[in-house]
Amino acid sequence: MTKRLIRFDWAIKRLLRNKANFIVLEGFLSELLFERITIIRILESESNQETDTDKYNRVDILTENTKGELIIIEIQNTYEIDYFHRMTYGVSKTIAENISLGQPFEFVKKVISVNIVYFDLGQGKDYIYHGKTEFTGLHEHDILQLSVRQKEKFKKENVAAIFPEYYLLKVNSFSDTAKDTLDEWMYFLKNSAVKQEFTAHGLKEAAQVLDIMQLSPEEQYSYNRHLYNLHLKASEMLSMREEAEYQIKMESKKEVVNNCIQLGYDNNTIARITGLPIEEIERLRLK
């Protein structure tokens, strides 16, 4: 049995910011980061407006866990060629905004950037990627480590634990076959559904909190508007792509027509070759 639920992006905006529902986000992050995560608070971010005019194709939320780490969860529904750059900007901005003026750099917070994208980003065979910073010797090929004093001072075991980390979840690349509990979350992110046999942390609670039937009439209206906007945006993108392909095809045909005219072909012959109407061919002859 599979239960249909509210999409994760809308839930982050409206439901999961409630402290009583932190358990859903905590479950997701625990499965992704392979450690039990407890969220102590959710911080405001610039794209968390709750109006119909906000950017429905992008959602982000900034959380802080019990270790003082900042975790960004960002969801992007439509294609952006420079999305990698935006990931970097988001982390940099978060770091800069969360250190007080005059504090030494040791107070720079660890930032984990979790990016859930519904388009094909980059080239790769996997559907979940993890990136971190390590320094490798050019000659000895060793990994630069923290000194004993640095480990004691910063309570970190390695250099990578200081720098930001990135997680990239390419939802549409997931095959719908859940082989482990993290895959169960991927299934939910792709299908907005939870199977009865799923055991991943947070999904049982998600099945309750994100039940569409539990929404108030006002929330149901807002959610349906969100779904409509997503469909509208997808249609706009499809139309733009189709129009671009059509224009390219037409330009190619025009080039063929011009070549045929130069070779002395008559209009009927050119029409059979290109499929263009006689009127269009005649118009091109007059240019």
Please say if the pLDDT value at position 268 is more than 50: yes
pLDDT tens by residue, 174-233 = 999 999 999 999 999 999 999 999 999 999 999 999 998 788 888 888 888 888 887 777
Q: Please report, rounded to a whole number, the percentage of residues in the chain having pLDDT higher than 70.
A: 94
Give the span between the Cα atoms of 120 and 84, in whole angstroms.
12
By CB neighbour count within 10 A (0-12 exposed, 13-18 middle, 19+ buried), where does 6 fall?
Answer: buried
Instruction: List all residues 6 or more positions away from 216 whose beta carbon is below 8 Å from its beta carbon.
Output: none
What separation in angstroms does the CA of 287 have from each of 14, 262, 283?
58, 13, 7
Instruction: List all residues 6 or more positions away from 90 whose beta carbon is below 8 Å from its beta carbon.
Output: 60, 72, 74, 113
Report the 3 state secondary structure along the chain: CEEECCCHHHHHHHCCCCHHHHHHHHHHHHHHHCCCCCEEEEECCCCCCCCCCCCCCEEEEEEEECCCCEEEEEEECCCCCCHHHHHHHHHHHHHHHCCCCCCCHHHCCCEEEEEEECCCCCCCCCCEEEECCCCECCCCCCECCCCHHHHHHHCCCCHHHCCCEEEEEEHHHCCCCCCCHHHHHHHHHHHCEEECCCCCCCHHHHHHHCCHHHCCHHHHHHHHHHHHHHHHHHHHHHHHHHHHHHHHHHHHHHHHHHHHHHCCCCHHHHHHHHCCCHHHHHHHHCC
- pTM more than 0.85: no
Chain-wide mean pLDDT for the chain? 89
pLDDT at residue 140 in the model: 96
pLDDT at residue 49 in the model: 46
pLDDT at residue 107 in the model: 94
Structure-block tokens of residue 255 = 């080039």
Give the span between the Cα atoms of 222 and 186, in whole angstroms.
25
Instruction: List all residues 6 or more positions away from 48 whose beta carbon is below 8 Å from its beta carbon.
Output: 13, 17, 59, 60, 61
pLDDT at residue 60 in the model: 86
Which residue carries 């006689």 as its tokens?
278
CB atoms within 10 A of CB 117: 22
pLDDT tens by residue, 123-181 = 999 999 999 999 999 999 999 999 999 999 999 999 999 999 999 999 999 999 999 99
pLDDT tens by residue, 8-24 = 999 998 889 999 999 99
Give the span between the Cα atoms of 118 and 112, in whole angstroms.
20
Structure-block tokens of residue 265 = 């072909």
CB atoms within 10 A of CB 54: 15
Please say if the pLDDT value at position 110 is more than 80: yes
Give the closest residue to 1 by CA, choosing from 205, 174, 194: 194
pLDDT at residue 45 in the model: 55
